[in-house]
Structure 1
Amino acid sequence: MSDGLELLAFAGVMALGQFSPGPDMLLLTRTALAEGVGNGVRMALGIGTGLAVHASLGIWGTAALLEREGWLRTSLKWLAAAYLLWLAWGLLMQWFVHFYSGSKTVEPKPPGKRSAYLRGLFCNLLNPKALFFLAAVVAPFLAGDRPSWWPMALWLVIVLQGWLLWSLWAAVLQWRPIREGHRKAGPWIDGAFGVTLAVLAVLLVI
């Protein structure tokens, strides 16, 4: 198989992995719905920055250190779980306020631009599963005799594809029927997202 076809195959595997259900997908979906495409794209850039770090570690071998040093992996898992629980708490509190205030629609005050980027960055960066997934996917594509530019090509596929696909997803969620549905049922959607994030935090630890 030529290098070009192998890169396409790698991009396909990565696209499937990045769009599998998880904290990144959940948080970006809620942000794009509640805060608009601008903050959705900023969050996508934050997730992409986290992917850049994980891709660097996975491609150039540092993932093996986390595999050997159990305490480091455990610490990252607890940090990630705590962050997801903090996000879940914020969403559940919004649901609580809207539910008991009797409000039927949602008119949220969007957080700052930096906030959306940082939430995406930390959500991805603190998830050790993202690093191990990347390390596992990259390993077969690094085997054999490869040109010197090959690792950087894999890194660029991961990062650029991540930024592009997540940003497109944020844009798709601006479709008017989806936005209207969220505007009407926003508090319940926030509550569902909050519960799901809390469950993901528990599953991450156990």
Structure 2
Amino acid sequence: MSSALWGTLLAACIVISFTPGAGAINTMSNALSQGWRRSIWGIIGQQLALIVHVIIVAAGVGLIVSQSELLFNIIRYAGAAYLVYLGIRLILAKPTLSSTDDDPVADAPSEGRWSMVRRGLWVNLLNPKAIVFFLAFIPQFVRLDQPQLPQYLTIIVTTIAVDIVVMWGFFAAAARPFRRLARSERGQRTLNIVFGCLFIVVAALLALVH
């Protein structure tokens, strides 16, 4: 891959990563409930999903999904249902107060890292439009007259590196100002409702917008 083409890929990945979606909401929610450092586990799960999406497209499965209305709808509604589940669970979650001023979540029960990884994985994986998007996005940066594996590895590494920086460095960090609000039971309840509703809104968009 030429430096000019890679530069275009990098710019595209930055724009894509900054586009708000379920991954960004999940990252900010994790940062609020588990802290900025531990939110990386959810981000790792989301990156695993991106790898799967690229592999699906490279293997040609993405084309099958995009051309099969039944398969597309099955994945689409499953993804929407999962986001609704996450939203309702967050809305109903009981506030956990901390005695530490510097870290409002320091004394809160810590979610297991693998639980956060799994949730991040499913949040990004159950999105058929991501498969269709990558199906349209990836071929623009793959040259058929050159070895395929190095090109796909470059795409995967660039996409993951950019997304981690944006998710952890921007969206997770953006949740920090709200952590002062999380020091009170009312504040936590408000944040849980807000982020829970955001999950449900994204689910509605995924299910209803064609």
Same fold (TM over 0.5): yes
Hey, what's the Cα distance between the residues in 2 that align with 1:197 and 1:139?
A: 31
- 1:6-21 equivalent positions in 2, closer than 5 A: 6-21=5-20
Superposition deviation, residue 47 in structure 1: 0.3
Aligned: 1:112 with 2:112: yes
Give the secondary-structure state (helix, strand or coil) at the position aligned to 1:39: coil
Hey, what's the Cα distance between the residues in 2 that align with 1:86 and 1:174?
A: 22
Q: How many pairs are equivalent?
A: 198
Q: Label 1:19 to 1:182 Cα distance change in 2 as closer, same or farther (>3 A).
A: farther
Aligned: 1:77 with 2:76: yes
Give the secondary-structure state (helix, strand or coil) at the position aligned to 2:111: coil
For normalisation by structure 1, the TM-score amounts to: 0.84
Structure 2 equivalent of residue 138 of structure 1:
138
Structure 2: which amino acid aligns with 1:194? G
Hey, what's the Cα distance between the residues in 2 that align with 1:204 and 1:168?
A: 26
Hey, what's the Cα distance between the residues in 1 that align with 2:121 and 2:112?
A: 15
Q: Label 1:162 to 1:97 Cα distance change in 2 as closer, same or farther (>3 A).
A: closer
List, as ranges, runs of 4+ consecutive aligned residues in structure 1 with deviation greater than 4 Å. 95-98
Hey, what's the Cα distance between the residues in 1 that align with 2:86 and 2:188?
A: 16
Structure 2: which amino acid aligns with 1:140? Q
Superposition deviation, residue 96 in structure 1: 9.0
Q: Which structure: greater helix fraction?
A: 1
Superposition deviation, residue 162 in structure 1: 2.6
For normalisation by structure 2, the TM-score amounts to: 0.82
Hey, what's the Cα distance between the residues in 2 that align with 1:12 and 1:59?
A: 21
After superposing the two structures, state which structure 1 stretch, 18-27 or 59-68, moved more: 59-68
Aligned: 1:156 with 2:157: yes
Q: Label 1:22 to 1:187 Cα distance change in 2 as closer, same or farther (>3 A).
A: same
Q: Label 1:75 to 1:171 Cα distance change in 2 as closer, same or farther (>3 A).
A: closer
Structure 1 equivalent of residue 173 of structure 2:
172
Structure 1: which amino acid aligns with 2:81? A
> How much identity, in percent, do the aligned residues show?
23
